[in-house]
Amino acid sequence: MSRFSFIYIGIFSIIISILSFFNIIYSNYFNLFLNIDSYIYSLISSLLFGLIFLIKKKEEVKVSIYEKIITVILGYAILPLFISIPFYFSIHNITFINAYFESVSGFTSTGFSIFENIKHLDESLILWRSSSQWVGGLYFLFSIILLIDIFDINLKKSLTNYLSFNTSETLKQSAKILILYTSLTLGIFILLTMSNIRSFNSLNLAMTLISSGGFLPTNNLENIINNKTKEIVLSFTMLLSFFSLFLSYNLLTIKNKNINFFQEDFYLLIYFCFLVVLFFVFFNSTFTFSEILISLSSSISNIGISLNRSYQNMSFLLLIITIIGGSFFSTSSGIRFVKIYSLFKFSMNELVSHAKPMNVFINKLEFSDTSVETKDINKYFISVLVFILSLLVLSSLMTISGINLESSFKLSILTLMNTVNSSMYGLKEFNFDELQYFAKYFLIIFMIIGRVELLTLLIIIKKFLFKN
């Protein structure tokens, strides 16, 4: 590990120590002294770890893209160790693997939980679960900036005019992300509180929604969202992790008038409206409009929370939507809508070209002069292929561990897409605590793989298996 790796992971270690400090303050203020020592342990360990990493001897070495990818992956493995400390020292008879599983699930914004009954947890621990997802979402956004060079030009243009970032531009964009991310979290909190949702629940939901997580401060969403108004408000707040984080910023600074900054979000808006109309036409007899809206918003943003309803007729479609995902620069996971759309457009052009071989077809996106190069299409195709292979491997491993084939398949999709299990996908009653140890380890590995983007995994494989 170079100085860069130490600094990057060290910074987030310090952020975790700050969150630990806030939890100490919260526990002290509300006289929740039962778990306060565990937050002190987390504070001291993460702070010392971060400071040691930051004061490492300086090295003037150019950081390669491979080292950046490895640094991001190491962060997803190391940082949850500090997050797991309060779980391990606060909960009676909890094993280390369970504490670490909960932490990785939170940090990757997946939302799988070993806790069947949230009511048995101290409020400070519930807040800590939400905090783990919030800092994990921030880490993911920072990682996109860090790995900006591996993405194609069209995706970069939705974020910046620069084709690559130097140190100063990286710091500038990171500061912008921190301000936007924090502001949107505060905005969601205020909006939910104004909707007559308890402040504690609003705070937890704000942190988990902006990060595209799935941890709830209660066992059932209906305990919080108990009327149509709250359902609609929640639906629109979930969309903030579906569209680009910079959408609000670009709207406020529209003086730049760079259409590229809005192009992807424009596609996503059309896509969302199309789904709303489609689902309302076919499912309005079974679900109300607000119920359809909340299930769609939750699926496309890869949050996965749902009302306690039977979604048998919709489950398969919602899984497909979850796989597609949202914006390139959002906290949502998935393959990404632009990639799927570009592949579809390319495939249609190839089919038509056989019928009209004399015509020249350009892979140009609708409502835009932007065209997608063949090399980018190849990258998108490989991303889909790696996803399918990962899905088959994980499904097989889950089946071997004793889970039935259907549940293994669904669970594997949700793991790779970092989406919480719920009644929408028929896995509401799934118990992660009862899983075999090796199954939990595999889920941990694939939760990280899903979060670091399948393309980065492919780059690492190429580096170590193929010399040229």
pLDDT in tens, 270-310: 999 999 999 999 988 888 898 999 999 999 999 989 888 77
- Of 39, 41, 7, 9, the residue nearest 26 (C-alpha): 39
Predicted TM-score (pTM) of this structure: 0.92
**How many beta carbons lie within 10 A of that of residue 142, not counting itself?**
21
* Per-residue confidence (pLDDT) for residue 275, from 0 to 100: 94
Tell me the two tokens of residue 260.
């590229």
Q: What was the pLDDT predicted at 462?
A: 65
Average pLDDT over residues 40-59: 82
Number of structural domains the chain divides into: 1
Which band of pLDDT confidence, cut at 50, 70 and 90, is reported for residue 237?
very high
Query: Would you say residue 138 lies in a domain?
Result: no
Q: Could you give the CA distance from residue 206 to residue 460 in angstroms, rounded to a whole number?
A: 34
Nearest to 123 by CA among 23, 202, 207: 23
237: left (phi over 0), alpha (psi -120 to 50) or beta: alpha
In a domain, 434, yes or no: yes
Residue whose C-alpha is closest to residue 242's, from 185, 200, 296: 296
Token pair, residue 468, equals 């040229």
Which ranges in 61-122 belong to alpha helices (H)? 65-90, 96-107
Here the tokens at position 333 are 């996971």
Beta strand ranges found along 140-249 (DSSP E): none
CB contact at 8 A, 415 and 440? no
Domain that holds residue 405: 361-465
Is residue 440 over pLDDT 90?
yes
Three-state DSSP at 172 gives: helix
Dihedral sign from CA coordinates of 149, 11, 209, 250: negative
Task: Output the six-digit token pair for 116.
Answer: 């069947």
Any domain includes 253: no
Quote the pLDDT of residue 182: 94
Write the DSSP string, 307-372. Answer: -S---TTTHHHHHHHHHH---TTSS--SS-HHHHHHHHHHHHHHHHHHH-TTS----BPTTSS-B-
Each residue's pLDDT tens digit, 401-438? 889 898 999 999 999 999 998 888 877 778 888 888 89
Which residue, among 107, 157, 99, has the nearest Cα to 130 in the 3D structure? 107
| 88 belongs to a structural domain | no
Neighbours of 434 (CB within 10 A): 10
Question: Residue 27: exposed, middle, or buried by beta-carbon count in 10 A (0-12, 13-18, 19+)?
Answer: buried
Going by C-beta distance under 8 Å and a sequence separation of 6 or more, which residues neighbour residue 261?
157, 158, 159, 246, 250
